[in-house]
Amino acid sequence: MYILGIETSCDETAASVIRLDRRSSRVKVLSNVISSQIEIHKKYGGVIPEVAAREHVLNILPVIHESLAQAKVKPKDLGAIGVTKGPGLVTSLLTGMETVRTLAYTWRKPVWETNHIAGHIYANFIASGKDVRFPAVVLTVSGGHTILIRLSSGGKMKILGETRDDAAGEAFDKAAQMLGLGYPGGPLVSREAARHVAAGRPGRAIDLPRPMLNSPDFDFSFSGLKTALLYQIKADKGWRRRIPAYCSAFQQAVTDILIHKTIKAAKQYRAESVMLTGGVSANQQLRSELAAAVADHLPGTRFYVPEHQYTTDNAAMIAAATAFQVLYKHPATPWKKLRADSGLQLK
């Protein structure tokens, strides 16, 4: 079955075609087209919703057309369409949803609405499909979310903990802004941090806190870490010469917090698999240190992280989440009932 996925929840207009082999539950990505607005939003240091919405309207049809063309799939061959329902910016979500409503009606195709966070989670099923063993503990870290979930067979999810203030990606973006690095901050902070490590970590060590590291729950908090960074920079006249050191200390603090809580949850819930996903899962240090922590503390537990191209927002992950809704026999949503929901909760 061919599935078209559509994602417009923030600043990427994305469409992807995948093929689902129902017998083996495996999916293969045939195209993954993303029109990024990063260059536009860079000027403002963040996403401007009205600008994002206008760009989505301009890009959505060419992006869908390109995704079908690259996959060499005709609309009549599609078995399903998947679209992001939320959470996200409502003005961005609407473009994807209204486009899909029209396609569902004119092409007469069934539509499955998908939670954006579930999309990030199913990015890990693109390569692994049926091999994942449950229960899995999944850490989703993006610009909008930091959330630990227990995923059981059949796609059942339970939220174990989430951030009480900033998301991990948001913290990276704000740290980058304080250090004058630009937007989006994650890749820039991690590039500077890598420089510091490659240079042998010169200079005095920078000490940053790890808020809520030992709290008895699975929640996170990053705003105190961000403020601690701000105060240290303010007190340091030569901070501009030490940007790589600050980035390295900041990245290490975020990584330590995320790994500590994930391993704790995986132990408590006897996870057979640990998964990392979301835009921040592009971070090389987080990927490798979590993989090592799983191997050290949870022998026998499998570790999954998406290929780099499926970490930040994309539509292949939405198509993959749709494939599993089809496999789990969730009902499709009639075109008249499709609704974007910017505050959509995970079920």
Does 166 participate in binding Zn ion (rule CB under 5 A)?
no
For position 13 contacting ligand KG4 by CB under 6 A, the verdict is no
CB atoms < 10 A from the CB of 27, how many?
25
Tokens of 111: 């539509």
| Structure token digits, residue 198 | 């490659």
Choose the binding region for ligand KG4 from 47-55, 58-66, 150-158, 181-189 (rule: CB under 6 A): 181-189
**Are the C-beta atoms of 335 and 105 separated by less than 8 Å?**
yes
Alpha carbons 101 and 74: distance in angstroms, whole number:
18
Beta bridge partners of residue 161, listed in sequence order = 148
Q: How far is CA 91 from CA 22, 59, 316, 340, in A?
A: 35, 14, 22, 9
- The answer to whether 316 and 123 are in contact (CB under 8 A) is yes
- List the one residue from 249, 313, 319, 344 that touches Zn ion (CB under 5 A): 313
Residue 280 binds which one of ligand KG4, Zn ion, none, with CB within 5 to 8 A depending on kind?
Answer: ligand KG4
Three-state DSSP at 345 gives coil
The window from 76-84, 170-178, 242-250, 266-274 that contacts ligand KG4 (CB under 6 A) reads: 170-178
**Residues 282 to 301 in contact with ligand KG4, rule: CB under 6 A:** 282-283
Q: Does 173 bind ligand KG4 (CB under 6 A)?
A: yes
**Which of these ranges, 51-59, 95-103, 272-280, 324-332, lies near ligand KG4 under the rule CB under 6 A?**
272-280
Q: Does 172 bind ligand KG4 (CB under 6 A)?
A: yes
12 binding Zn ion? (CB under 5 A): no
CB 275 within 8 A of CB 126: no
> Which residues make up the interface to ligand KG4 (CB under 6 A)?
10, 142-144, 169-170, 172-173, 184-187, 190, 278-280, 282-283, 312-313
> Which residues make up the interface to Zn ion (CB under 5 A)?
142, 313
